[in-house]
Structure 1
């Protein structure tokens, strides 16, 4: 059975290494959100660097998730002291559980504060796509699909929760979100 891959990307207002209170708050909330999402029904896994170091993103060992990559529009630093981004790559059993995890509870509260921490770039900040069972998406997969979503309309190759597609490539709906003419999941 296919699984849902979800890639998120945001450009932070300040580097991850910044000791300012907002950066510390972002880390604290982020760690709590990851713990909660990891317990959510439908969650399978997410990319984690083998070293687990804060700020060590570029050059880290991401295992089967591949070499870390960023969209072409990211123009900030790439060292531990200058990196100013937050990115996630995760696998889910289906659209509904991923949508629920993102738009409810602690993660929803964090989303409500996103503009305290993230720049408004004019680019999409997430993309979804389907992968075959046993396939682990790579960072480059996420980047290429996010860039595709920015350049093109949502499609089975790269879509959002508001314009979702089923694994077979047909438009669908999640919890009432999506075009009314499509089938309900």
Structure 2
């Protein structure tokens, strides 16, 4: 799929991941990670293909939200395509943070990232993201919940009836 096929198909890619902190965010051992939050979030916001990211009301990010546990932070975003997300994750300033992730986060034995297709303009919920993560952990990758390593195109998800519906479309 080319960089804009998801958008042309009227679909966007939702991305949700969890990371278990080795130390609290206010611990000096996590200071380098905290210092990267604003620049990496700014890079995401300006990245080609970026659509939306979850931020807690009145905050610059969602690091205080803990739906997966007290020591687990989340990242939740929407992109025009898998390629746009891949480019941000592995070909931007985000890569520096990825290279040091073991300094700040525990290694997950089970899936910690999930991707799924949603109608363009729809804002996915944290509850939906947690359910998609549960699906990929319990059932493995499918058109409904997948990973970079076992991905499905927007067309494959649509053909399988796996495009997330639900909430009324909202402005992103």
- 1:120 and 1:90 mapped to 2: Cα distance? 22
Aligned length: 147
Partner of 2:95: 108
> The residue matched to 1:164 in structure 2 has which SS?
coil
In the alignment, does 2:141 pair up with 1:154?
yes
> The residue matched to 1:169 in structure 2 has which SS?
helix
Distance 1:56 1:109, change over 3 A: closer
| Structure 2: segments with no counterpart, 5+ residues | 1-9, 158-172
In the alignment, does 2:102 pair up with 1:57?
no
Partner of 1:176: none
Q: 135, 144, 155: which one pairs with 1:168?
A: 155
Partner of 2:162: none
Partner of 2:37: 30
> The residue matched to 2:117 in structure 1 has which SS?
strand
Cα RMSD for the two superposed structures: 1.7
Q: Deviations over 1:45-79 (max 9, x none)?
A: 10111121786425xxxxxxxxxx32xxx4xx3xx
In the alignment, does 2:118 pair up with 1:131?
yes
> The residue matched to 1:38 in structure 2 has which SS?
helix
Tell me by how many angstroms 1:126 deviates: 0.9
Partner of 1:42: 49
> 44-53 or 5-14: which moved more?
44-53
How does the TM-score come out when normalised to structure 2? 0.79
Tell me by how many angstroms 1:106 deviates: 1.3
> The residue matched to 1:119 in structure 2 has which SS?
coil
Partner of 1:181: none
In the alignment, does 2:83 pair up with 1:96?
yes
| Structure 1: segments with no counterpart, 5+ residues | 59-68, 78-83, 171-185
Runs of 4+ aligned residues of structure 1 deviating over 6 Å after TM superposition are: none
Partner of 2:129: 142
How does the TM-score come out when normalised to structure 1? 0.74
Tell me by how many angstroms 1:109 deviates: 1.5
